[in-house]
Amino acid sequence: MLLLSRVSVAASAHIRKYATESCDVLIVGGGPVGLALASALSSSPVVRQNLRVALVEAGDLDKVRNWHSAPDQYSNRVSSLTNASCTFLQNKGAWKFVQRERTCPIEQMEVWDGISDARINFNAAEMRSTSQLEGMSRLTENLNLQRGLLQSLDEIPRLDLIHKTKVTSISREAEGHGAWPVVELDNGRRLRTRLLVGADGFNSPVRTYAQIPSFGWSYDTQGIVATLVHQPRTAYEGPNTTAYQRFLPTGPIAFLPLSRTVSSLVWSTRPHIARVLQASDSSVLACMINAAFRLPQLSLQYLYNRISEAQAAGTPLTAQQVQEEILWREKSHGIDHHSALSTSSAMRSDSAAKIPPTDSHLLPPLVTSIQTGSIASFPIRFNHTESYLGEGPGARTVLVGDAAHTTHPLAGQGLNLGLGDVECLANCIENAVLSGSDVGSHTALQPYARERYLVNHTILAAVDKLHKLYTTEFEPVVWARSTGLEIVNELDSLKAAIMMTAGADSQRSGMAAGWDAMSNGLQTVESVARLARTIGGGMSGILGAGAHALTKKISEYRKV
């Protein structure tokens, strides 16, 4: 067996141009999903002994491998890893390389409607989980995860890791039905592979080569991310391990904990609002983040307009001016300045005893500043390929992660879906080796497509449904979703089931059911009753007879 090595541009310059090499599995893409697949395959003794695996990445992975950051400085690209994802990484030996002190468990979640204020909370203590991990999920920077995966791969000598190298073309051998894909790189190498894996993101060259169609749409929404600085929680409030999400008509805003004094922002909003916020001084954005978790939509829209008009006039508002506007709006809405809903005091507590407001657990701490250089934005879209496997001229190809599906970030499931793909595909490849099958054959890969497509599509559809459900201000729908949310919040067994099946348990089985339960449950009380019967076992009698009437009342809107 030829021992494969790590090769960069400089090292590969001596390889004869256009000499064709062969490998069994070639992964295109060195993001978290591609590296996770490389790690999963390389950690399998049977795969290591029988297959040659290579990974190609255009970026400089040495920068990721050597990434270091000050303890109070965090990247703005973060992911919430479910316990199922963490367990998978543990089982493959990669999680031990992830810097633990730069991760944060999510012990609780507070989620509420920006119009009705209907609320649901999730608490890890409510779960009957088999997981030995803390919390419902764990937040980490993507760079922390990528570095950990690279360090795990450094211990495995049989991986050909080719970075700082772009794919220039992908073609197919002209040798009949069993022809292999041939990948040409900009350093002169030509790699012929039994199985080509596209882990190369939304604009996937591998998907293009395989001619796999996809369907989807761009949301009228832009995502804003930033790293937020705030005061630590008091002893009365406990640690900063609660995630907060408010569903505004313009899109959800989420506050995700990273450390005692640092949290991450993911704010989905209309593109014109995103442009206004990004063009503002970071101190103004900090004020608006605090307001977005507290003020009614009417006042938020007024503030967006004021800031936009001032920018257009060439006299942008200062943070002090914006804060004065916010305080005036709070007063006009009758917000008690002793409440956590008020931004009037940075301490928001008794100055002597430092006792927080009684409702402080319902809202995130006030943002005091934003980490320099951390503000960024990105488009939000829904996309799903019609298949995960290439056929005909595109045979011997398979897609994972964003190359196969992209979703709204409101549920934080994008990377978890990709890691679920990786776990399933790695098992299929290992099973093919054990049975003596061709790892690139449609027969060997079909179990992956069969298992993952329906699961992913169910979650994608549920998240899309939640987005559409919460961007309407149509009163019957607001009432219906609020009623559904409040009923679910009262059913602890159902909430526990939703958490477990949405990934808080260490097993992936049933994840799609959890997200489908949440989206359907918020639309009608009748669906909550149905899910309660299915998941909770005998809870259906708790719900009143008004469920069927409610379904009729909003059925016309749901058909639109």
Same domain, 338 and 266: yes
Domain count, the chain: 3
**Residue that finishes a domain, picked among 337, 355, 378:** 378
**β 181-185/167-172 pair status:** antiparallel
Same domain, 159 and 45: yes
Query: Would you say residue 531 has pLDDT above 60?
Result: no
18-73 pLDDT, tens digit each: 578 999 999 999 999 999 999 999 999 999 999 999 999 999 999 999 999 999 99
275 domain-assigned: yes
Query: Would you say residue 291 has pLDDT above 70?
Result: yes
The whole-number pLDDT of residue 269 equals: 96
Q: Give the CATH number for residue 355.
A: 3.30.9.10
445-463 pLDDT, tens digit each: 999 999 999 999 999 998 8
Same domain, 372 and 295: yes
Query: Would you say residue 550 has pLDDT above 70?
Result: no
Same domain, 356 and 428: no
Give the number of other Cβ atoms within 10 Å of residue 377's Cβ: 17
164 domain-assigned: yes
Same domain, 429 and 498: no
The whole-number pLDDT of residue 502 equals: 55
Same domain, 226 and 207: no
Same domain, 485 and 543: yes
**Residue that finishes a domain, picked among 459, 488, 521:** 459
104-113 pLDDT, tens digit each: 999 999 999 9
User: Which residues are registered as beta bridge partners of 120?
Assistant: 111
The whole-number pLDDT of residue 538 equals: 35
Percentage above 90 pLDDT, the chain? 66
The whole-number pLDDT of residue 393 equals: 85
86 domain-assigned: no
Q: Cα separation of 416 and 193, whole Å?
A: 27
Query: Would you say residue 528 has pLDDT above 90?
Result: no
The whole-number pLDDT of residue 499 equals: 67
Same domain, 316 and 391: no
Q: Cα separation of 236 and 353, whole Å?
A: 11
Percentage above 70 pLDDT, the chain? 82
Q: SS3 for 400?
A: coil
Q: What is the mean pLDDT of residues 116-131?
A: 80
546 domain-assigned: yes
**Residue that finishes a domain, picked among 430, 459, 488:** 459
Same domain, 199 and 281: no
115 domain-assigned: no
274-287 pLDDT, tens digit each: 999 999 999 999 99
Same domain, 371 and 438: no
67-80 pLDDT, tens digit each: 999 999 999 999 99
Q: What are the residues whose beta carbons fall under 8 Å from the beta carbon of 477, sequence distance 6 or more?
A: 469, 554, 557
Q: pTM here?
A: 0.86
Query: Would you say residue 197 has pLDDT above 90?
Result: yes
Same domain, 476 and 443: no
